[in-house]
Amino acid sequence: MRKIIFVTGNPHKVKEATDIMSPLGIKIEQNNCGYPELQEDTLEAIAGFGARWAANKLNCEVMVDDSGIFIDALSGFPGPYSAYVARTIGNRRILKLLDGEMNRRAVLKCAIGYCRPGEEPVVFSGEVEGKIAEDIRGKLGFGYDPIFEVGGLTFGEMADEEKNRLSHRYMALAEFSLWLKEPDRIKNQQL
């Protein structure tokens, strides 16, 4: 079984990655060494930089995840600053910002950066379109899951198996998994 170190402090992301990738023969191990996070406008640049930095620091193949929610009515905010916004203002205040707003369209995006020591990173992206719910619903998941709605349910109301079949992280990890099996198949992902 191939082992890849997932550099993240978020055990929820590790569980999702493990659930999605272990059937493919990939063992995910968490390392919380952290990495300097670029102040960039794209998740892909942040994930690529983090993967390169962590691979060289740990001297092994690694993956990192940078994810964000992009809300139309807020001009794409919080985007790459989603983790900071979740920690500082949270879901209730995001809902408050959207009080009376008719356009509740939002996109969850994920960029998975992968790198081996001394090599250039490769980045895989996934996204899922949905909308911001009118209120917090569901106790499952984490982060923005209780306010991000797809098909009438929030991610916070979906069991892991259901969420993992359509989530932004699933889409990115599916591309990553395909590339791991056939690295020449996707050449344009390299940063």
Per residue in 15-32, pLDDT tens?
Answer: 989 988 888 888 999 999
- Residue 93 sits at φ, ψ, to 5 deg, of -75, -30
* Residue 79 to residue 17: CA distance in whole angstroms: 21
Q: Looking at residues 32-52, what average pLDDT do you find?
A: 89
Residues with catalytic function: 66
Per residue in 107-161, pLDDT tens?
Answer: 999 999 999 999 999 999 999 999 999 999 999 888 999 999 999 999 999 998 8
Domain boundary assignment for the chain: 2-181
187, pLDDT greater than 60: no
* Residue 26 to residue 89: CA distance in whole angstroms: 36
Structure-block tokens of residue 74: 């807020």
Q: Looking at residues 84-99, what average pLDDT do you find?
A: 95
For position 12, what pLDDT does the model report?
87
For position 186, what pLDDT does the model report?
55
Q: What is the tally of helices (H) and strands (E) in the chain?
A: 6, 7
2-181: CATH number: 3.90.950.10
